[in-house]
């Protein structure tokens, strides 16, 4: 059994906080979260981190490991071949302490999205064809780890949280828009409040998604196409004028 | 952080934001009550999210012969007939509506070719009954309920731990605790409290449960005077991961066997053919877990001390479609490609059948104004829970508890706040930070987990249980001597110091109950009393607070009415007989 | 691999391709070596009574269409925003550009919303190129196979792969629908959208290889014009 060094961010302000080194004994198959737990039990009982399931199902243990946004429970120590491992909190959100950030903004954004709205007289139980729902399953795989929000440069570097909902909520809206029983059209929301035009499809969200959701290709771009059809396509505009306004 | 205590007021306070808590919140809000939901984690991270295989409801979409009577019998038989029959009846009759209701809130299950909800087979369910979405059914359920709660603008207090129920005389008046983020103290005043705080798998070393499963709710209810029913009944899920060590105990969903997986021993023998020739791998969980345990004890285990679980014959496409997160989990955490290699599995702590005793129709506990639903409540599952019955349990009884609480608060006013009780709790909380103790809360927790694994595990004896009880009582004294560094600002060591006390309460109840139940029944396997005892089959055990001590008493198992008893062809006593 | 290698390669390749294509189109040479024609040109135009003058006018116009597809392409956008504008440079690596960020909401980037028109015009161009490939297998009225025929065939397959894996096409074909079983011909549209959806993950790969294959095909035809004796299997 060998040791490895973890350099863990400690502090309650990103400016004054520093990396603190810890020597952690390594067992086969250990992940970064195991190492953090070892540190909590043996070296720093007050080291703050979020975690729940330790099985990549809840999306709680998001952090930046050697500069890359990842789930700590899914990042194995043997990947780093004994090199020191830097563990930092997500940088796109305000720091609370150590590895824990304040992600409340995401929940506020979520509440702005028009919820699932079926027809009031839709017969229950629903009949839905597999062909109609299979696209939506991908979006519903999201575990809300917020790594996509963290890596999105619109939110992270430009801090345009007022202008853009971020990739997670593009995924949620895609799941609602493509739901065969939903009756609401959220194209106007996407164009204005959600700010889909702010995304310049540089795909970092898709790169970091632990659930392998093709966020940009399958959620954001199809929604951009819907917005293009509604707001930018001149022939579609003429069509709507001539044949009535059936928005997208 | 500040020394002032923040106070919030709601008609109904719901503790826990898993399936039961959220469903109760939706129903209580529909009943016109002002509702506050408190959860220890962020919204949407509750343990429900980890449920994989599916939700049991007799829709009969795949097997039209299925109906609620069959589901009822499966549940009662699976629970070795010490279940509360009325809960099992309500559960079987109402589950279908609760599942359909989820789809009206935006959930989507896997489909049959004609567009209805697809159902898969599962252990000890007579027919294909589990509605599912691949192997992430719990995620679908929690997200649907979460979205519904958000749409209804129900107040949710995230990362708040409530540590003591407040009473006004014999009735509930609220609860108090702390904000995990800031360390601030918080108090909720309410006319009713619904406990939906889940289970206590974290008291064992090898568990499929998250850190949250520390038994807060059952311990708080116990401290407030509620009865704890059948605490000794703890479920071992037959298939947890065994290797590598970091993931030991991580759940391997029963859907693996539901989809057709086989269990083999080291001699490549499908041993379930011998233990359960009829149901084989899909026998109830207690039976499969024991079979794996016995194979390993007999020296026929896998290299890391488990059994082999093999799905290779299903083919790569089917595995990736129906078991995608299992495929990913083994590949990324254990370097095992389950389309080419067998998994190694061994029983892992999974679920608590025991919990607070409740009225079947309302979820009311024995304390006025205190309700319980989901894993923290007891009665439905008896001595062993069937896979898929817990998700439907959450919905059926979450809804009933929410409705009953909303009804109850219409006729009562807010109870008086007991400042002494709040101050007492805050003193207790601050003890670990300000006291001169020397014990490390994490290490005490690990000692408890090791003791429970050893003494109150899958195979139990009187001697082992008594040793375990002594360890628990010693740890209880040492828990007063815990010290943690740092401030109250997001301090997990400080949180663990309090959690530890909850864990010790429920551990003691489990062990005391297990000592008293001198028979083997369902998940409770006493190697010194290897057979079921018909006398114990008529009894539920009760753990009750008696001064500062814990007392174990019994209650007769409620007898079912004739029309239900008739379903069992004489296996159960007729009331009239 | 260091994080900067990919953007650096992207810059070099894009600049190189753009420079070469511009030079080829405006070089004044009609890149044609019977029965082959460069993909920057087309035999459809200028055959019969017209000839060079019309080609000279139309070719730059036609060549602009596929270029427009690439400039407005969702895949290329990712690549050049990262590599040229460093916005972002790489994931979680910070920005190369300071100042107010407006994404694709302002002129000129807002025009990229018209990607679908570049696509539709490119499909027309691709048909032209397809006919050129058929002609590359016919020499003096006989079936013919030379290395150039194969080169042109491979090129048009890669170009079609790029065109048909386009996100806008998937949207127009059926991706824009919320419920297939609720509309006319829904089953067919689902099948089509589904097939395009399966092609879509390779869009970036097709973008790269088709860019090189276009340039290389042009170079190949120029080689034949310059007297290169190519292998011919059926002549």
Q: State ipTM.
A: 0.96
Using CA atoms, how far apart are residues B539 and B557, in angstroms rounded to an integer?
5
Lowest mean pLDDT among A95-104, A157-166, B265-274, C117-126: C117-126
Residue B3 has pLDDT above 90, yes or no: no
Kindly give, in sequence order, each residue whose CB lies less than 8 Å from that of residue B492, ignoring residues fewer than 6 positions away.
A40, A45, A46, A47, A48, A49
- For residue A35, give both structure tokens: 């190492």
Using CA atoms, how far apart are residues B208 and B351, in angstroms rounded to an integer?
9
Distance from CA of A79 to the nearest CA of B (A): 11
Summarize the confidence of residues B354-378 as an average pLDDT: 98
Which residue in the list B132, B189, B257, B498 is annotated as catalytic?
A: B257
Tell me, which fold does domain B240-349 have in CATH? Flavocytochrome C3; Chain A, domain 1 (3.90.700)
Q: Name the DSSP letter for residue A84.
A: -
Contact A248 C92 (CB under 8 A): no
Using CA atoms, how far apart are residues C117 and C103, in angstroms rounded to an integer?
21
| Percent of chain B whose pLDDT exceeds 90 | 95
Q: Chain A contacts of C171, Cβ < 8 Å?
A: 222, 225-226, 229
- Give the residue from B46, B108, B441 with the most A CB atoms within 10 Å of its CB, the best one to mutate: B108
Every domain range in chain B assigned CATH 3.90.700.10:
240-349
CB C149 within 8 A of CB C224: no
Longest dimension (CA), chain B: 68
Question: Which pLDDT does position B446 carry in this prediction?
Answer: 97
Q: Where are the domains of chain A?
A: 3-101, 104-243
> B530 — contact with chain A (CB < 8 Å)?
no
Closest CB to A57 among B49, B134, B446: B49
Question: Which pLDDT does position A241 carry in this prediction?
Answer: 87
Q: Chain A contacts of B441, Cβ < 8 Å?
A: 45
Contact B246 A126 (CB under 8 A): no
- For residue B432, give both structure tokens: 């670990």
Distance from CA of A29 to the nearest CA of C (A): 25
Q: What is the mean pLDDT of chain C?
A: 88
CB atoms within 10 A of CB A19: 15
Q: Chain A contacts of C203, Cβ < 8 Å?
A: 217
Summarize the confidence of residues C162-188 as an average pLDDT: 93
The bridge status of strand A3-10 relative to strand A18-25 is antiparallel
Question: Which pLDDT does position A122 carry in this prediction?
Answer: 96
Beta bridge partners of A20: A8
Can you say whether residue A66 is alpha, beta or left, with left for phi > 0 and alpha for psi between -120 and 50 degrees? left
Contact B115 A129 (CB under 8 A): yes
Q: Chain C contacts of A209, Cβ < 8 Å?
A: none
Specify the higher pLDDT residue, C2 or A118.
Answer: A118
The bridge status of strand C232-234 relative to strand C145-146 is antiparallel
Summarize the confidence of residues B550-557 as an average pLDDT: 98
At B134-145, the pLDDT tens digits run 989 999 999 999
**DSSP states of B121-149 as a string?**
--TT-SS--EE-STT-HHHHHHHHHHHHH
Own/partner long-range contacts of B271-277 (Cβ < 8 Å, ≥24 apart) = B271/B295, B271/B300, B271/B307
Specify the higher pLDDT residue, A239 or B397.
Answer: B397
Q: Write the CA distances from B298 to A90, B276, B348, B461, integer angstroms.
A: 49, 18, 19, 19
The answer to whether B477 is a known catalytic residue is: no
Residue B328 has pLDDT above 70, yes or no: yes
The answer to whether B313 is a known catalytic residue is: no
Q: Name the DSSP letter for residue B460.
A: B
Question: Which pLDDT does position B576 carry in this prediction?
Answer: 45
Question: Which pLDDT does position B573 carry in this prediction?
Answer: 56
Q: Chain B contacts of A46, Cβ < 8 Å?
A: 484-487, 491-494
Contact A98 B490 (CB under 8 A): yes
- For residue B483, give both structure tokens: 């010290």
At B418-467, the pLDDT tens digits run 999 999 999 999 999 998 899 999 999 999 999 999 999 999 999 999 99
Question: Which pLDDT does position C58 carry in this prediction?
Answer: 62
Lowest mean pLDDT among A90-104, B315-329, B401-415, C46-60: C46-60
Q: 3-state DSSP call for residue A48? A: coil
Using CA atoms, how far apart are residues B97 and B118, in angstroms rounded to an integer?
15
At B390-410, the pLDDT tens digits run 999 999 999 999 999 999 999
Specify the higher pLDDT residue, A73 or C53.
Answer: A73
Which residue in the list B237, B285, B381, B498 is annotated as catalytic?
A: B237
Residue B357 has pLDDT above 90, yes or no: yes
pLDDT classification of C44: cutoffs 50, 70, 90: low
Summarize the confidence of residues A50-62 as an average pLDDT: 94
Closest CB to C176 among A164, A208, A226: A226
Of B249, B236, B258, B259, nearest in space to B305 by CA: B249
Residue B1 has pLDDT above 60, yes or no: no
- Which CATH code of 1.10.150.120, 3.20.20.70, 3.30.479.10, 1.20.58.100 fits the domain covering B419-529? 1.20.58.100
Question: Which pLDDT does position C128 carry in this prediction?
Answer: 85
pLDDT classification of C96: cutoffs 50, 70, 90: confident
Distance from CA of A126 to the nearest CA of B (A): 7
Q: Name the DSSP letter for residue B482.
A: B
Contact C91 A204 (CB under 8 A): yes
Question: Which pLDDT does position C31 carry in this prediction?
Answer: 86
Residue B148 has pLDDT above 90, yes or no: yes
Angle ∠(C51,C56,C58) on CA atoms, nearest 5: 95
Summarize the confidence of residues A43-72 as an average pLDDT: 96
At B164-223, the pLDDT tens digits run 999 999 999 999 999 999 999 999 999 999 999 999 999 999 999 988 999 999 999 999
Closest CB to A202 among C82, C109, C176: C82
Q: 3-state DSSP call for residue A16? A: coil
Summarize the confidence of residues B152-172 as an average pLDDT: 98
pLDDT classification of C27: cutoffs 50, 70, 90: confident
At C145-174, the pLDDT tens digits run 999 999 999 999 999 999 999 999 999 999
**Considering only alpha carbons, which residue of chain A is nearest residue C111?**
A232
Of A211, A194, A179, nearest in space to B105 by CA: A179
CB B117 within 8 A of CB A38: no
Of B190, B117, C103, nearest in space to A166 by CA: C103
Using CA atoms, how far apart are residues B26 and B304, in angstroms rounded to an integer?
45
Every domain range in chain B assigned CATH 1.20.58.100:
419-529
Using CA atoms, how far apart are residues B34 and B154, in angstroms rounded to an integer?
8
CATH of domain A104-243: 1.10.1060.10
Contact C187 A131 (CB under 8 A): yes
CB C159 within 8 A of CB C213: yes
Q: What is the mean pLDDT of chain B?
A: 96
Contact A130 B115 (CB under 8 A): yes
Q: Chain C contacts of A202, Cβ < 8 Å?
A: 78, 81-82, 87-88
CATH of domain A3-101: 3.10.20.30
Contact A217 C201 (CB under 8 A): yes
Using CA atoms, how far apart are residues B358 and B24, in angstroms rounded to an integer?
15
pLDDT classification of A247: cutoffs 50, 70, 90: very low
Residue B2 has pLDDT above 60, yes or no: no
Residue C57 has pLDDT above 80, yes or no: no
């Amino acid at each position: 059994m060998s040791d490895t060094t973890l350099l863990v961010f400690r502090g309650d302000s990103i400016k004054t906080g520093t990396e603190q080194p810890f020597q952690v004994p390594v067992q086969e198959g250990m992940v970064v979260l195991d190492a953090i737990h070892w540190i909590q039990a043996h070296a720093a009982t007050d080291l703050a981190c979020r975690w729940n399931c330790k099985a990549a199902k809840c999306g709680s243990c998001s952090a930046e490991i050697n500069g890359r946004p990842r789930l700590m429970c899914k990042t194995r120590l043997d990947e780093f071949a004994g090199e020191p491992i830097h563990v930092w909190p997500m940088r796109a959100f305000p720091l609370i302490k150590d590895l824990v950030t304040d992600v409340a903004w995401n929940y506020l954004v979520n509440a702005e999205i028009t919820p699932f709205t079926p027809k009031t007289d839709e017969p229950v139980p629903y009949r839905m064809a597999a062909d109609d729902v299979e696209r939506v399953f991908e979006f519903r795989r999201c575990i809300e780890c917020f790594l996509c929000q963290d890596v999105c440069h619109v939110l992270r570097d430009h801090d345009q949280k007022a202008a853009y909902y971020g990739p997670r909520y593009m995924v949620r809206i895609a799941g609602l828009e493509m739901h065969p029983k939903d009756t609401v059209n959220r194209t106007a929301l996407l164009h204005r409040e959600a700010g889909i035009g702010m995304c310049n499809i540089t795909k970092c969200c898709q790169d970091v998604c632990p659930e392998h959701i093709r966020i940009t290709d399958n959620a954001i771009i199809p929604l951009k196409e819907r917005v293009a059809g509604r707001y930018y396509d001149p022939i579609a505009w003429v069509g709507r004028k001539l044949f009535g306004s059936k928005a997208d | 952080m500040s020394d002032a205590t923040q106070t919030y007021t709601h008609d109904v306070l719901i503790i826990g934001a898993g399936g039961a808590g959220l469903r109760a919140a939706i129903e209580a809000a529909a009943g016109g009550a002002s509702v506050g939901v408190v959860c220890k984690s962020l919204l949407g991270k509750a343990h429900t999210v980890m449920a994989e295989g599916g939700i049991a409801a007799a829709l009969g979409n795949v097997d039209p012969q299925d109906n609620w009577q069959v589901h009822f019998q499966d549940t009662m038989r699976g629970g070795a007939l010490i279940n509360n029959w009325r809960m099992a009846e309500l559960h079987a009759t109402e589950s279908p509506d609760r599942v359909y209701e989820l789809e009206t809130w935006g959930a989507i299950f896997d489909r049959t070719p004609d567009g209805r909800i697809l159902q898969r087979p599962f252990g000890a369910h007579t027919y294909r009954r589990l509605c599912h979405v691949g192997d992430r059914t719990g995620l679908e359920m929690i997200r649907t309920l979460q979205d519904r709660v958000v749409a209804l603008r129900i107040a949710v207090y995230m990362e708040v731990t409530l540590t003591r129920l407040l009473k006004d005389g014999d009735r509930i008046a609220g609860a108090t605790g702390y904000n995990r983020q800031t360390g601030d103290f918080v108090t909720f005043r309410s006319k009713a409290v619904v406990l939906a705080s889940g289970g206590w798998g974290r008291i064992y070393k090898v568990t499929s449960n998250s850190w949250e499963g520390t038994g807060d709710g059952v311990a708080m209810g116990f401290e407030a005077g509620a009865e704890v029913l059948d605490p000794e009944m703890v479920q071992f899920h037959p298939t947890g991961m065994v290797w590598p060590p970091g993931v030991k105990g991580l759940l391997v969903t029963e859907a693996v066997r539901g989809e057709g997986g086989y269990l083999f021993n080291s001699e490549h023998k499908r041993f379930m053919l011998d233990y359960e020739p009829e149901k084989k791998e899909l026998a109830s969980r207690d039976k499969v877990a024991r079979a794996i345990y016995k194979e390993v004890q007999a020296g026929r285990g896998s290299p890391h001390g488990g059994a082999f679980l093999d799905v290779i014959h299903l083919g790569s496409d089917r595995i990736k479609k129906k078991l995608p997160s299992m495929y990913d989990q083994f590949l990324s955490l254990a370097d095992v490609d389950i389309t080419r290699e067998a998994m190694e599995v061994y029983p892992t702590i999974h679920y608590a059948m025991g919990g607070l005793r409740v009225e079947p129709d309302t979820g009311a506990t024995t304390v006025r104004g205190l309700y319980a639903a989901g894993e923290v409540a007891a009665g439905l599952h008896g001595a062993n829970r069937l896979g898929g019955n817990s998700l439907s349990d959450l919905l059926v009884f979450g809804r009933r508890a929410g409705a009953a609480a909303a009804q109850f608060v219409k006729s009562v006013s807010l109870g008086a706040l007991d400042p002494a009780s709040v101050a007492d709790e805050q003193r207790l909380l601050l003890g670990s930070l300000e006291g001169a103790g020397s014990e490390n809360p994490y290490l005490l927790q690990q000692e408890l987990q090791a003791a429970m694994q050893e003494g109150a595990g899958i195979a139990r004896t009187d001697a082992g249980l008594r040793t375990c009880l002594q360890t628990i009582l010693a740890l209880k004294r040492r828990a007063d001597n815990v010290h943690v560094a740092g401030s109250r600002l997001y301090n997990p060591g400080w949180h663990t110091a309090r959690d530890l006390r909850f864990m010790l309460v429920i551990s003691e109840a489990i062990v005391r109950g297990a000592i008293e139940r001198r028979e083997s029944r369902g998940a409770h396997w006493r190697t010194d009393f290897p057979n079921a005892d018909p006398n114990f089959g008529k009894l539920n055990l009760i753990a009750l607070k008696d001064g500062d001590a814990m007392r174990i008493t019994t209650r007769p198992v409620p007898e079912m009415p004739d029309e239900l008893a008739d379903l069992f062809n004489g296996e159960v006593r007729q009331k009239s007989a | 691999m260091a994080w900067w290698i990919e953007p650096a390669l992207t810059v070099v390749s894009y600049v190189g391709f753009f420079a070469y294509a511009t030079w080829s189109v405006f070089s004044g040479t009609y890149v044609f070596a019977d029965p082959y024609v460069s993909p920057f040109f087309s035999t459809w135009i200028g055959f019969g009574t017209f000839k060079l003058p019309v080609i000279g006018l139309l070719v730059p116009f036609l060549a602009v269409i596929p270029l427009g597809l690439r400039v407005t392409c969702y895949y290329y956008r990712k690549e050049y925003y990262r590599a040229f504008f460093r916005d972002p440079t790489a994931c979680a690596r910070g920005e190369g550009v300071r100042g107010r960020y407006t994404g694709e909401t302002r002129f000129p980037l807002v025009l990229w919303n018209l990607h679908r028109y570049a696509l539709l015009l490119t499909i027309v161009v691709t048909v032209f190129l397809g006919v050129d490939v058929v002609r590359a297998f016919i020499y003096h009225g006989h079936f013919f196979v030379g290395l150039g025929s194969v080169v042109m065939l491979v090129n048009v397959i890669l170009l079609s792969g790029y065109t048909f894996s386009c996100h806008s096409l998937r949207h127009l074909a059926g991706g824009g629908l919320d419920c297939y079983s609720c509309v006319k011909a829904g089953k067919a549209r689902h099948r089509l959208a589904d097939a395009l959806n399966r092609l879509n993950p390779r869009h970036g790969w097709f973008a790269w290889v088709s860019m090189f294959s276009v340039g290389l095909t042009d170079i190949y035809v120029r080689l034949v014009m310059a007297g290169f004796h190519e292998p011919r299997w059926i002549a």
